[in-house]
Amino acid sequence: MPATYYQRSGLRRYFQETGEVWLFARRFFKEALHRPFEGKELLRQCFIVGNQSLFLVGMTGLIMGLVLTLQTRPTMEDFGAEAYMPAMVGVSIIREIGPVVIALICAGKIGSSIGAELGSMKVTEQIAAMEVSGTNPFKYLVVTRILATTLMVPLLVIFGDAIALFGSFLVEHMKGDVSFRLFFNKVFRQLGFGDLIPATAKTFFFGFAIGLIGCFKGYTSKKGTAGVGRAANTAVVVASMLLFVLDFIAVLVADIFFDL
Amino acid sequence: MEPLIHIENLYKSFGGLHVLNGFSLDLYDGENLVIVGRSGSGKSVLLKCIVRLLEPDSGALEVLGQPVPQLSQYEMDHLRTEVGFLFQGSALYDSMTVRENLEFPLRRHPEKMKGHDVGTLITSTLESVGLAHTVDMMPEELSGGMQRRIALARTLILRPRIILYDEPTSGLDPITAKEIIELMLRIQEEYHTAALIITHDMDCARVIANRMIILIDGKNYAEGAYAELSMSPDPRVRAFFK
């Protein structure tokens, strides 16, 4: 009996929360399209989101490029196909590994930060204080943050991809004496619009999902300081899962339109 | 005389918990009305209903002659500039300096500047709470009493006609609490505001109240001046004055 009860209440909570996220997203679109626009705060949030993740994304990208090339090279050599290394690494990073890994890093860094910040503002009544001063806190806090992540995550992914390719080049240069120009010629000769457009387009959705879930969890957090921790934690978990779902959908859609 | 706040038979419940059970009050211009009640008796819920942070279940609720539950969001935002709210925990924006905290509501309601520039308004308001030197400090650098004063300055900068105080002296030492009470009285004189004060601090009530309401079981249990209520033979009323 208790197991059935918990399963049922867990399932109900899941559907209830999915509905709440949906309503939250709908409110975002409604508020984002109406004046007044918080342009200054949006720029500030873009700077915070980009600046606070730049080093982490750069390091992740570099290690991703180094490791991927170091681990793949011996196998490619066995087949006498080391000349294809730049093309293979380029396609893997640009199409799939770069966007997904960097978006996951952003979910951890940015999503948790937004969840914790808004959660603590809620608990300390700062959001209520904004509301009673005649300011729309949703527009000021939520709309700006979701827009900032939607705009900045794609830029961070492009930056991370570039660093990853550079890391791959370093290994190729050391092991195979490949020049910078030759390496990047081979990379870009292999890449087409079918690789670049879907890979870039999906990062906007990744950024939106990270901002949406972070803001939702923080803005609706309850139960005091424990709720703040829970908001930060669940923002990362839910956003990460959502990224995989979105990636799967993006691959399906890209397959239809670009015949991957 | 028309009341600034008129509440009649206000009901609010959360699930099966009935917090306000037909509460009524009238707040008049220039008056300090103190509401006392036990913890969980619905005092803070009442304040939140007045500024529509919570929606009442039923009853009449008018602020400056406008029916709060029926107002559009735009109308409500404008009404809120006439009603200041001092939160129990100050609720200063901790990512902003004192100057930015005060600027924040002003930038969104430029009509409230009335020809003055932002800097002058901030300086004069901070001077009136005695903290002009903290203008570039962050909230975390201020003591609890200073934070309460800055929160009051942020409320005053829009020049409201009514100020709602939620436990203005809670968590403060007796000396700082006394300073806050004196500041509240001085502000009322200087800015000609009416105040609705929720407190457990009977010293605060004694000094500041023109009139008091005792809230028990979600409704008005007793009403009168401090001296009158403190002499009441009713044990439930006397319990507050021990």
Burial A236-259 (b: 16+ CB within 10 A, else e): bebbbebbeebbeebeeebeeeee
Confidence (pLDDT) at A6 = 58
Q: What are the structure tokens assigned to A151, written together?
A: 């705009």
Q: What are the structure tokens assigned to A244, written together?
A: 């995989």
On whether the CB atoms of residues A164 and A62 are closer than 8 A, the answer is yes
* Residue-wise DSSP of A40-94: HHHHHHHHHHHHHHHHHHHHHHHHHHHHHHHHHHHHHHHTT-GGGHHHHHHHHII
* Residue-wise DSSP of B96-135: S-HHHHHHHHHHH-GGGGTT--HHHHHHHHHHHTT-GGGT
Tell me how close the Cα of B163 comes to any Cα of chain A, in angstroms: 11
Confidence (pLDDT) at A11 = 83
Burial B186-200 (b: 16+ CB within 10 A, else e): ebbeeeebbbbbbbe
CB-based contact, A20 to chain B, within 8 Å = no
Contact B53 A134 (CB under 8 A): no
Tell me how close the Cα of A134 comes to any Cα of chain B, in angstroms: 4
Query: Per 3-state DSSP, what percentage of chain B is helix, strand, and coil (rounded to 5)?
Result: 40, 25, 35
Q: Name chain A contacts of B77, Cβ cutoff 8 Å.
A: 134-136
Confidence (pLDDT) at B208 = 92
pLDDT tens by residue, A83-110: 899 999 999 999 999 999 999 999 999 9
pLDDT tens by residue, B25-80: 999 998 999 999 988 888 999 999 999 999 999 999 999 999 999 999 889 999 99
Confidence (pLDDT) at A107 = 94
Q: What are the structure tokens assigned to A123, written together?
A: 């608990």
Contact A134 B92 (CB under 8 A): no
Is residue B19 very low, low, confident or very high in pLDDT (cuts 50, 70, 90)?
Answer: very high
B241 vs B221: CA distance, rounded Å: 15
CATH superfamily of B30-58+70-241: P-loop containing nucleotide triphosphate hydrolases (3.40.50.300)
Confidence (pLDDT) at A52 = 86
Tell me how close the Cα of B199 comes to any Cα of chain A, in angstroms: 18
Is residue B150 very low, low, confident or very high in pLDDT (cuts 50, 70, 90)?
Answer: very high
* A38, closest residue in chain B (CA to CA): B108
CB-based contact, A136 to chain B, within 8 Å = yes
Q: Name chain B contacts of A123, Cβ cutoff 8 Å.
A: none
Confidence (pLDDT) at A2 = 55
> Which ipTM score applies to this complex?
0.89
User: What is the mean pLDDT for each group of 10 consecutive residues in chain A (260 residues)?
Assistant: 62 88 95 88 94 94 95 90 90 93 95 94 94 92 97 96 96 90 91 87 96 96 85 92 94 81
pLDDT higher than 60, residue B120? yes
Residue A167: give the domain boundaries: 2-258
* A120, closest residue in chain B (CA to CA): B94
Q: DSSP character for B3?
A: -
Q: DSSP character for B40?
A: T
A55 vs A58: CA distance, rounded Å: 5
Contact B91 A126 (CB under 8 A): yes
CB-based contact, A134 to chain B, within 8 Å = yes
* Residue A112 backbone dihedrals phi, psi, to 5 degrees: -65, -35
CB-based contact, A135 to chain B, within 8 Å = yes
Rounded-to-10 torsion of CA A228, A224, B181, B77: 70
* A130, closest residue in chain B (CA to CA): B105
Contact A133 B80 (CB under 8 A): yes
Confidence (pLDDT) at A99 = 95
* Residue A178 backbone dihedrals phi, psi, to 5 degrees: -85, 135
Confidence (pLDDT) at A62 = 96
Q: Which of A132, A140, A144 is the best substitution to test chain B (most B C-beta atoms within 10 A)?
A: A132
* A128, closest residue in chain B (CA to CA): B53
Angle between helix A180-190 and helix A144-176 axes, rounded to 10 deg: 120
* Residue A81 backbone dihedrals phi, psi, to 5 degrees: -115, 25
Contact B158 A128 (CB under 8 A): no
B7 vs B33: CA distance, rounded Å: 13
Confidence (pLDDT) at A195 = 85
Confidence (pLDDT) at A259 = 66
Judged by DSSP in three states, A102 sits in helix
Q: A114: Cβ–Cβ under 8 A, 6 or more apart, which residues?
A: A145, A149, A211, A214, A215, A218, A235
Structural domains in chain A (count): 1
